[in-house]
Amino acid sequence: MSIVLPSGSAEPFTATAKYTAPVRRPVEPVGRFFLAHASRTLRGHTWSEFEKLEAEKNVKKVEEDEDLDLGDEEQSAELLEHDPREWKTADLYAVLGLSHLRFRATEDQIRRAHRKQVLKHHPDKKSASGGLDQDGFFKIIQKAFEVMLDSTKRQQYDSVDEGANVLPPAPKSKYDFFEAWGPVFASEARFSKKQPVPQLGNLETSKEEVDAFYGFWGKFDSWRTFEFKDEDVPDDTANRDHKRYIERKNIASRKKLKQEDNKRLIDLVERAHAEDPRIKLFKEAAKKEKEQKKWEKEAGSRKAAEEAAAKKAAEEEAAKKAAEEAAVAKAGSKKAKEAAKAAKKKQKRSIRGAPKDVEYFGDASNATQIDGDIEILIEKLDDVQLADVATKVTGTDASTVKSAINSVVSDLIAGGKLDGSILKYFGK
């Protein structure tokens, strides 16, 4: 029952009175309605703005939920003509129109896509547009749906789903390492029993992460199985031996395929590792670092060696200099000696000649005795006395010569260098 309003006609709007003055009271700050009130008050939203915001929030959620074009993909003519007996060779995801999702498709998405395909390809529909024997593709759809809903069968199919594989770049061609290999590893990652799988990363990825990445792929634990490629085992009981033979063959071929796949993966990872520019960079960096370290490590001994070499050089230099100096000095002293010798000779000669020059002090009869004494004196005199006496006795009169010789004799006797008794003339 709805409220019926009174009839009548008036101005569109007339205000008659004011409503009673409000009273201010505290509301209790609890409950979600209070939180909404608080957010309205604090952010200054009006009611309609607030409602709009709330409504927008709700709309977004709805949009996220739906993907309406699921399963709208068109199948290729080739696929539509596929022999239903050979359904295993068909691309089962493409059959359901899920080739863009593949192993990522959820069960719900598979169900919805299947429903769409059934609506489109049901034999009843086909026969209506002529042709009665048109249920081949429908059979494949049903087979695909059966496989997709059984988790074991789906895993087996995903293992051999070529459509989801990303091939590595052709060797020896030019390509960007990360662009080419990133998707390869991303697609291989789906086989990992351990999730999440580390990403390839980029040139800036740290060494630890890169090492962890190759470490993970080196120990890759794959769930990939190859039952899907089995040859059909005949289910008649007539030929049991043949059946067992086929079973054995299947097991062997699975094993072989698994080994091949493991080998393929190992090769793949090795190739990527070999081509990875980061590994090269790390190697170079490591080498540089090693050298740097070595250089630093040897810094101590090198310094010591340098010092030793410098010291040795200095010593050699000093020795050379000393030798030169010595040679110079040697040469100088030879000359001086010779000069001194000559001067000595001259002095000796002048002393020896002095008595004779003054006619032996008027005492020529004792000339031999005087000369004998002079010879003894000259032998006894040292260089200084010799020079001294020589200057005293040259070019003077007899008494001066005599007194000079006498004083020298008395000096020598006093010095104990000369025995007065051996002198025959002087010292008397």
Partner 1 sequence: MSTVIGITFGNSSSSIAVASSEGKVDVIANPDGDRFIPSALSYVGEDEYHGVQAESQLIRNPKNTIINFRDFIGKKFEEVKIDESLQNGAKPIKGANGEIAYEITRNDKVEILSVEEISIRHFKQLKLAAEDFIGKDIEGVVLTVPTDFTEHQREELVKISNASGLKVLQLINEPTAALLAHLSADDGERSLQDKIYVVADFGGIRSDAAVISVRGGIFTILATAHEHGLGGDKFDAALSEFFAKEFEKKYKANPRTNARSLAKLKAESIVVKKTLSNVQTSTCSIESLAEGFDFHTSINRLRYELTTRQSLSEMTAFVERAVTKAGLEPLDIDEVLLVGGVSNTPKLASNIQFIFPESTTVVAPSLDAKAINPSELVARGAALQASLIESFDDEEIKESLQPIVVNTQHIIKPIGIKDASGKFHPLLVAETAYPIKKSLQVTNGESSSILIELYEGKRTIKETVIEPTKDEDDSEDEEDSDEEPEIVKELVYEAGDKLATLSLKDLKPNSQLEVTVNITQNGVLHFSGRELKQGSVAVKGEITSA
Q: Contact positions toward partner 1, by CB under 8 A?
A: 2-35, 37-38, 40-42, 46-48
Q: How far is the CB of 223 from partner 1 (least distance, A)?
A: 33
* DSSP element (H, E) containing 365: none
Q: How far is the CB of 113 from partner 1 (least distance, A)?
A: 32
Between CA 368 and CA 77 the distance in angstroms is 158
Q: How far is the CB of 1 from partner 1 (least distance, A)?
A: 10
Q: Give per-residue burial for 162-197: e unless 16+ CB within 10 Å, then b.
A: eeeeeebbeeeeeeebbebbbebbeebbbbbeeeeb
Q: How far is the CB of 58 from partner 1 (least distance, A)?
A: 17
Nearer to partner 1, 36 or 422 (CB): 36
Q: Could you tell me the two tokens for 425?
A: 């003339």
Nearer to partner 1, 14 or 151 (CB): 14
Please work out, in degrees rounded to the nearest 5, the angle formed at the alpha carbon of residue 123 by the alpha carbons of 118 and 129: 115
Cβ contact 398:361 at 8 Å: yes
Between CA 380 and CA 416 the distance in angstroms is 11
Nearer to partner 1, 7 or 151 (CB): 7
Nearer to partner 1, 28 or 108 (CB): 28
Amino acid symbol at 107? E
Q: How far is the CB of 49 from partner 1 (least distance, A)?
A: 11
* DSSP element (H, E) containing 250: helix 240-275
User: Could you tell me the sign of the dihedral formed by the alpha carbons of 336, 337, 339, 340, in that order?
Assistant: positive
Nearer to partner 1, 31 or 395 (CB): 31
Q: How far is the CB of 59 from partner 1 (least distance, A)?
A: 20
Q: How far is the CB of 36 from partner 1 (least distance, A)?
A: 8
Cβ contact 71:98 at 8 Å: yes
Between CA 162 and CA 144 the distance in angstroms is 15
Cα–Cα distances (Å) from 142 to 121, 122, 286, in that order, read: 11, 10, 58
Residue 227: strand pairing partners: none
Displacement of CA 289 from its chain's centroid (Å): 8
Nearer to partner 1, 16 or 106 (CB): 16
Q: How far is the CB of 60 from partner 1 (least distance, A)?
A: 19
How many other C-beta atoms can be found within 10 angstroms of the C-beta atom of residue 141?
25
Nearer to partner 1, 31 or 218 (CB): 31
Nearer to partner 1, 30 or 384 (CB): 30
Cβ contact 191:155 at 8 Å: no
